[in-house]
């Protein structure tokens, strides 16, 4: 049921963002095997269809897909956040107890720093491709982690 809600909340991309970026192969992969092995499926299909020069746009479209899933998972996790906070205090976790907002802010800071560093490691046009690939992969990992937390 939660996966169904995630799929509903992860709205399709606007056509003008990446007209050839279809989430269907990625959704099929996730349904069949799930997990990190599916990351890049949507971008790869888009790049194969759109040809050279489409890497940034296609990877950006898949990043938006994963970001929507991460936001949907966060929304569902927020429903139980007070219970998690209370349990952590009961079990003697050190203060302050981590919040979902802190988790999100920490992830955003890490993603920005890691992907900026990766882009700076490349020359020319490759810097943009590498940065988009980094954003896509880290965002996908984050979304999958949050979705896994829903199942805990």
- In this predicted model, what pLDDT tens digit does every residue of 27-44 receive, in sequence order? 999 999 878 999 999 999
- Residue 51 lies in domain: 2-151
The proportion of the chain whose per-residue pLDDT surpasses 90, expressed as a percent, equals: 57
> Of 37, 16, 19, which Cα lies nearest the Cα of 28?
37
Give the pTM. 0.83
Number of domains in the chain: 1
Q: In this model, does residue 136 exceed pLDDT 70?
A: yes
The proportion of the chain whose per-residue pLDDT surpasses 70, expressed as a percent, equals: 87
117: pLDDT confidence band, cut at 50, 70 and 90? very high
**Mean pLDDT within 55-84:** 94
- How many CB atoms lie under 10 A from the CB of residue 58? 24
């Amino acid at each position: 049921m939660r996966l169904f809600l995630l799929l509903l909340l992860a709205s399709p991309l606007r056509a003008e963002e990446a007209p050839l970026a279809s989430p269907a192969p990625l959704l099929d992969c996730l349904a069949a095997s799930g997990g990190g092995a599916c990351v890049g499926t949507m971008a790869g299909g888009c790049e194969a269809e759109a040809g050279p020069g489409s890497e940034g746009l296609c990877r950006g479209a898949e990043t938006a897909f994963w970001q929507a899933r991460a936001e949907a998972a966060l929304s569902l996790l927020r429903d139980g956040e007070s219970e998690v906070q209370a349990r952590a205090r009961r079990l003697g976790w050190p203060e302050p107890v981590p919040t979902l907002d802190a988790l999100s802010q920490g992830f955003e800071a890490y993603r920005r720093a890691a992907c900026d560093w990766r882009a700076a490691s490349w020359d020319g046009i490759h810097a943009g491709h590498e940065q988009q690939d980094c954003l896509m992969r880290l965002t996908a990992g984050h979304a999958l982690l949050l979705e896994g937390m829903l199942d805990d």
